[in-house]
Amino acid sequence: MEQLDKTLVTDAARSAGSAIPAEGGNPVIAPSTDRPRILVVANQKGGVGKTTTAINLGTALAAVGERVLIVDLDPQGNASTGLGIGHTERKVSAYDVLIGAALIEDAIVPTKVPGLDIVPSTMDLLGAELELASVQRRSHRLRDALSRMPRHGKTRGESDAEMQSTSRPYSYLLIDCPPCWKV
């Protein structure tokens, strides 16, 4: 009976395109397309747990084998700090990506959590709104940067050989927003 239940669940999941069978016959939830799922953690109010949610969700997803990228868009940079990325390691940040000075893959920094990377934030993001005020498609800058990102998600300093041997596409992108984002 148990084997029949697993087979039915796996077959139903396969036909729905929402899960793939894993070793042992237990289904594993996976994105239904070859693109990563994008989850935005946003609220106009500060201090409601947006960053904590992004870090904990990213860590939990990585712990079950997913590959996760967190994009820290809060100028305070608490997601970056919370994942152990010091200010000296933030040579290229979300600010550089948004103003078009860098590609997003140049800003990706691996964390100590296997399978979890981050695009760190800096205080420079405070000025991004003014700098981008007259730029066309300013509200699409992040989307455009993410759409140009290579599927493999090569991190800064990772050689092509390392990327080929260890990387796989991101299955989730988590965006940690500041309390009020007007761009």
Q: Decide the pairing of beta strands 68-72 and 109-110.
A: unpaired
**Tokens at 167, concatenated:** 């990387």
Q: Which of 150, 145, 170 is nearest to 160 (CA)?
A: 150
Q: Report the pLDDT value the prediction gives residue 25, as an integer from 0 to 100.
A: 55
Q: Report the pLDDT value the prediction gives residue 115, as an integer from 0 to 100.
A: 95
What's the whole-model pTM score? 0.73
Q: Report the pLDDT value the prediction gives residue 155, as an integer from 0 to 100.
A: 56
DSSP the chain: -HHHHHHHHHHHHHHHTSEEE-GGG-EEE--SSSSPEEEEE--SSSSSSHHHHHHHHHHHHHHTT--EEEEE--TT-HHHHHTT--GGG-SS-HHHHHTTSS-HHHH-EE-SSTTEEEE---GGGGGHHHHTTTSTTGGGHHHHHHHHS-TT-PPTT--HHHHHHH----SEEEEE--S----
Q: Report the pLDDT value the prediction gives residue 179, as an integer from 0 to 100.
A: 83
Q: Report the pLDDT value the prediction gives residue 142, as an integer from 0 to 100.
A: 86
Cβ atoms of 62 and 170 within 8 Å: the answer is: no
pLDDT mean across residues, the chain: 78
Q: Report the pLDDT value the prediction gives residue 81, as an integer from 0 to 100.
A: 93
**Tokens at 150, concatenated:** 């290579």
List the chain residues with pLDDT less than 50: 1-20, 27, 31-32, 161, 164-166, 183
